[in-house]
Amino acid sequence: MSENDTLLINEIFLSIQGESLSTGEPTTFVRLSGCPLRCSYCDTSYAFKDGKTLSYAEILKKIRENKTKYVTVTGGEPLAQKNCFKFLDTIAPNYEVSLETSNAYSIKSIHKDVIIVLDVKTPKSNESDSNIEDNYNHLKNNDQIKFVICDQEDYEWSVEYMYKHKLNDKCKVLFSPSYEEMDPKYLAEMILKDNIPVRLQIQLHKFLWGDARGK
C-alpha cells in the first residue's frame, strides 16, 4: 500500500443489510463521500461533501473491529473516487463484498468477486440520462440490478427498460418502492398482476430505524 491508498470516507458503521439479496445479514458499511448525481429521492445527501481521509489500513482496522463476514461499499457514489477500485481489490479476497453503485460509472474493472448492486436510474429520479448501458454487458449472474420506483409511470418505464435490455436474463432484478413516495403494497400488486420476473425489495433498515443515520 502506498500513501496514495486513501479514500474520503463519510462513515463506517455496523448494521443489518436492508437491501439486496443479502437483506438481514449483519454487515459493515463503508460509506464513501461524494456524488455527482442529484436523485430526487436521495436520502444520503449528507454524504455529498462531509468526509475524512482515511488510509486503507485505517479502514480495514475498522472493518475488522466489527467482525462481520459481509462488507458493503456504498456512498454517495463510491466509484467517483478512483481509489475505490483498488480498495475493492484489497478487500474482496477476505470478505463477502458488495458494491452499491449508481450506473453512472463503468463497472468493467470491478474485482470479479465483488457483488455489484447496480442502481438503474428511472425518469422520476431525474438522473436517467446518467445510465451507462454498456454496464449491462459486464454484469455477472450473481450481481443485482435495482430500480427505485417513484410512481406508476416509473413502474411502466422500468418494466419496459428491463425487457428491452434483457436485464432479467443477466441477473436478479429488484424493484424497490421509493420510500414514503410509492405504496409498497401497490407495487407488490402490480408485480403480481403483470407477472414480471422481479423481486420486490422493501428497505428493511427504514422499517427498523426510519431515517436514522449510521443504520
User: What is the per-residue DSSP string for 117-172?
Assistant: EEEEPPGGGT-GGG--GGGGGG--TT-EEEEEE-SHHHHHHHHHHHHHTTHHHHSE
We find the least distance from the C-beta atom of residue 168 to ligand SF4, in angstroms, to be 23
Q: Which amino acid is at 22?
A: S
Q: Which amino acid is at 116?
A: I
11 is a site residue for ligand SF4 (CB under 6 A): no
User: Using CB under 6 A, which of the segments 10-18, 37-45, 155-163, 188-196 binds ligand SF4?
Assistant: 37-45
Q: Which of 75, 88, 91, 187 binds ligand SF4 (CB under 6 A)?
A: 75
What residues contact residue 214 under an 8 Å CB cut-off, 6+ apart? 11, 13, 15
Cα 36 to Cα 152: distance, rounded to the nearest angstrom: 27
Q: Rounded to 5 degrees, what angle do the CA atoms 131, 93, 141 make?
A: 40
User: Using CB under 6 A, which of the segments 15-23, 73-81, 185-193, 199-207 binds ligand SF4?
Assistant: 73-81
Residues 110, 84 contacting (CB under 8 angstroms): no
Q: Which of 27, 33, 102, 158 binds ligand SF4 (CB under 6 A)?
A: 102
What residues contact residue 41 under an 8 Å CB cut-off, 6+ apart? 125, 148, 150, 178, 179, 181
| Helices marked H in 22-136 | 56-66, 83-91
78 is a site residue for ligand SF4 (CB under 6 A): no
18 is a site residue for ligand SF4 (CB under 6 A): no
190 is a site residue for ligand SF4 (CB under 6 A): no
Q: Which of 7, 12, 35, 118 binds ligand SF4 (CB under 6 A)?
A: 35
42 is a site residue for ligand SF4 (CB under 6 A): yes
19 is a site residue for ligand SF4 (CB under 6 A): no
Q: Which one, 55 or 179, has the nearer CB to ligand SF4?
A: 179
What DSSP state is assigned to residue 110?
S
38 is a site residue for ligand SF4 (CB under 6 A): yes
Cell of 194: 403483470
We find the least distance from the C-beta atom of residue 111 to ligand SF4, in angstroms, to be 21
132 is a site residue for ligand SF4 (CB under 6 A): no
Q: Which one, 9 or 60, has the nearer CB to ligand SF4?
A: 9
Q: Which one, 60 or 81, has the nearer CB to ligand SF4?
A: 81
Residues 206, 199 contacting (CB under 8 angstroms): no
- Would you tell me which residues interact with ligand SF4 (CB under 6 A)? 35, 37-39, 42, 44, 75-77, 102
